[in-house]
Amino acid sequence: MSSFQSLKGKRDARTASSRHGVGATAAPAGAGAPATTAPAGAELAPSAVSAAPSAPADVEMATEEPKAAAATAPPASGSLDASAYPDLEPPLAIRSTPDRGRGLFATTAVITAGHAVRKDWSGTTLLSTTPRVAVLSLAHLQTRCSNCFKETKMSRCAKCKALHYCSAACQRADWPAHKPECAALDRIRGMWARTFPDKAKNGRDNSWVVSDAGRAVARMCWARKAARDATGRDPDWWAGVAAMESHAKTLDEAATMKLAGQVQHIRHYLNAAVPSANPDVLEPADMADFGFKSASELLDMCSAFSVNSFTLSAPDLTPIGVATSPVCALFNHSCEPNAVVVFPRGGKDMQVVAISDIRPGEEVLTSYIDVSLPYAERQKDLSERYGFDCKCSLCEQNADLAWVDPRWSVLHPGCKEDGRGRMPDLRHDGEATVKCAACGDTFGINVPALRVLIERGKATLAKDEAGGLDYATAGPELSPIITALQKLVPSSTYPLLPLLRLQVLTLTPPTELSVWEFAIGQLRTAISGAREAHPANHPTIAVMMAELAKLLSMDTDQLGQTGITPVRQAGQQQVIERVGRLLDAVRALREAVAACKAAFGRGGGDVGAEMGKLLLQCEEELEMLRRR
């Protein structure tokens, strides 16, 4: 038995965020440049219902007698049974791999963006599905609709006061999933408000709300229970959830204890939906009521959630929450993926798009992490969150000492061939000698100075990720680091690449012509770096190109320099300048539309559609100016 007070003290049991999909890969910060290198968190611990992960409780639960077994046995984890995945269609098929469990393979050739035989240059959508569960992260709960995820004017749920909806229709559509959640959140908010009355006076404080992953797992449990209560058996979709790969049995003791703690959090949260005579006392739910035969089954599910969940992202890749789709979870990882997971039209429309041609029989691979990160960072993320050492073609290439990774290299100052060398070991003290890969000469790098800059850059990114960077005043913090780094490393190298994107974000929308010009220059530099650090047709590049096209298509007359001059009153010189800028914008918009089609599939998603509309407007304006 746990009172809210005693639960409250032990709230730090968390699991590493689980985040794959493009939201995760699109590293830098901000709108369209989302998720810093560590995207939207998917910790499992409910933030307020923080029942302590006590070993005895977990051990006790593990020995509980099962009350009710599932009426239909789900396929075991690792099953190749395609019937659990109704959305899975040719050209994709499940196959077993020797070293990474199941995977999805192309049964026929997939010809995609940029291929000579494809005239429309769009990426091929391999899979279109709806996540089994998708929830907003805490940071977006008050600004986005919990059903369609759009950022718009909203009303909050009158009972739980946590979720918001843009319309009665959205609220109704989400109600079956939200109903038990609403009761649980209402109960927890009451406990929190009685414990912290001063905090509760601030109607917008949602620090008490259960974490994203906790809410997501609980929604799945409640949906399963509702189906079992109605039909006496598990819903059909449960088979796919039950077959998701779990790492619970291979975790070390510390990780197992942490996971057990999360299980306890979820059990308390689930039970908060049940009315109680004493609203200040919360018991853990009996998981047999939810169809779990033992504690280890829920432990497996929590581990599977960590390994198999995706960053829910907006069409412009801003990470906004967490989602789970058993069929999308079948894709294995490569740091050089041939496909990407995207939400091109927002909401729950989840798509897997091929970004390069795929041969028949070839495995379709997505990336679980930000592929623009250097080798060591990628390996660390994959090992910590997904439990494997990546041996993909890009990671293998790192062993070639003659190869200079654009993600982790230094500039050769004064090199006639714009050469670069491998990043020296940053633990080195003093000057390191580096060989230029272009001209073969050696040059010296002051390692301590470079190390300090890289550390400062990473710290700024981390601060931004934690929401601690004020964009209005971030300029003085960012500029010196970026200027100094630009002299030493190429724009494709970490952390300069995400810092450049962050800088552009802090300058947008520009208020002066000089700022507009500077932002465009920095964004062009960042795009050329991003092209080197990502595979071709990657959505991150498409979104950056859209950002550039948008900046270029801004009406610069409104930047306070020339004042707003109606076109019919503008002088010849002004018209010539305007035509020049519009031509630049039109070119950039056309490129952005093509890049969006390649990255987000036919239609280019919402970002491609927005670029298409802007393109029409700019073309119309150009036509009008030409006719003058």
Ligand X SMILES: C[S@@+](CC[C@H](N)C(=O)[O-])C[C@H]1O[C@@H](n2cnc3c(N)ncnc32)[C@H](O)[C@@H]1O
- Closest distance of CB 102 from ligand X, Å: 3
Q: β-pairing, 92-96 with 420-422?
A: unpaired
Q: Which of 184, 188, 301, 390 binds ligand X (CB under 6 A)?
A: 390
User: Are the C-beta atoms of residues 274 and 182 closer than 8 Å to each other?
Assistant: no
User: Are the C-beta atoms of residues 204 and 142 closer than 8 Å to each other?
Assistant: yes
Q: Which of 223, 287, 330, 542 binds ligand X (CB under 6 A)?
A: 330
Q: Is the dihedral of CA 255, 261, 262, 267 positive or negative?
A: positive
Question: What is the C-alpha to C-alpha distance for residues 289 and 436, in angstroms, rounded to an integer?
Answer: 65
The span of 170-178, 347-355, 386-394, 536-544 binding ligand X (CB under 6 A) equals 386-394
Question: What is the C-alpha to C-alpha distance for residues 373 and 107, in angstroms, rounded to an integer?
Answer: 31
The span of 99-107, 311-319, 546-554, 568-576 binding ligand X (CB under 6 A) equals 99-107
- Closest distance of CB 21 from ligand X, Å: 10
CA distances from 174 to 9, 186, 223 (A): 33, 17, 12
The span of 382-390, 398-406, 463-471, 612-620 binding ligand X (CB under 6 A) equals 382-390
Question: What is the C-alpha to C-alpha distance for residues 421 and 413, in angstroms, rounded to an integer?
Answer: 10
- Closest distance of CB 301 from ligand X, Å: 14
Number of amino acids touching ligand X (CB under 6 A): 18
335 lies in the binding site for ligand X (CB under 6 A): no
User: Are the C-beta atoms of residues 193 and 200 closer than 8 Å to each other?
Assistant: yes
246 lies in the binding site for ligand X (CB under 6 A): no
Decide whether 307 or 500 has the Cβ nearer to ligand X.
307
- Closest distance of CB 410 from ligand X, Å: 29
387 lies in the binding site for ligand X (CB under 6 A): yes
CA distances from 620 to 582, 612, 624 (A): 10, 12, 6
239 lies in the binding site for ligand X (CB under 6 A): no
Other CB atoms within a 10 A radius of the CB of residue 383 amount to 12
- Closest distance of CB 498 from ligand X, Å: 24
- Closest distance of CB 497 from ligand X, Å: 24
Decide whether 147 or 379 has the Cβ nearer to ligand X.
379
Decide whether 19 or 333 has the Cβ nearer to ligand X.
333
Residue type, 564: I
Residue type, 411: L
CB-neighbour burial class of residue 207 (10 A; exposed 0-12, middle 13-18, buried 19+): exposed
What six digits make up the tokens of 193? 């408000």
- Closest distance of CB 325 from ligand X, Å: 10
Q: In terms of Cα–Cα distance, which of 362, 298, 366 is closest to 331? A: 366
Please give the residues from 392 up to 451 whose contact with ligand X meets the rule CB under 6 A: 392
User: Are the C-beta atoms of residues 149 and 320 closer than 8 Å to each other?
Assistant: yes
Q: Which of 329, 339, 404, 499 binds ligand X (CB under 6 A)?
A: 329
Residue type, 419: G
User: Are the C-beta atoms of residues 494 and 372 closer than 8 Å to each other?
Assistant: yes
557 lies in the binding site for ligand X (CB under 6 A): no
The span of 41-49, 167-175, 283-291, 326-334 binding ligand X (CB under 6 A) equals 326-334
Q: Which of 66, 86, 101, 509 binds ligand X (CB under 6 A)?
A: 101
Question: What is the C-alpha to C-alpha distance for residues 142 and 157, in angstroms, rounded to an integer?
Answer: 10
388 lies in the binding site for ligand X (CB under 6 A): yes
The span of 48-56, 101-109, 269-277, 444-452 binding ligand X (CB under 6 A) equals 101-109
* Site track for ligand X across 187-226, x = CB under 6 A: ----------------------------------------
Other CB atoms within a 10 A radius of the CB of residue 478 amount to 21
> Pseudo-torsion of CA 574, 579, 582, 588, nearest 10°?
-130
Decide whether 174 or 300 has the Cβ nearer to ligand X.
300
Q: Which of 11, 95, 100, 451 binds ligand X (CB under 6 A)?
A: 100
Binding residues for ligand X (CB under 6 A) = 78, 99-103, 245, 307-308, 329-330, 332-333, 386-388, 390, 392
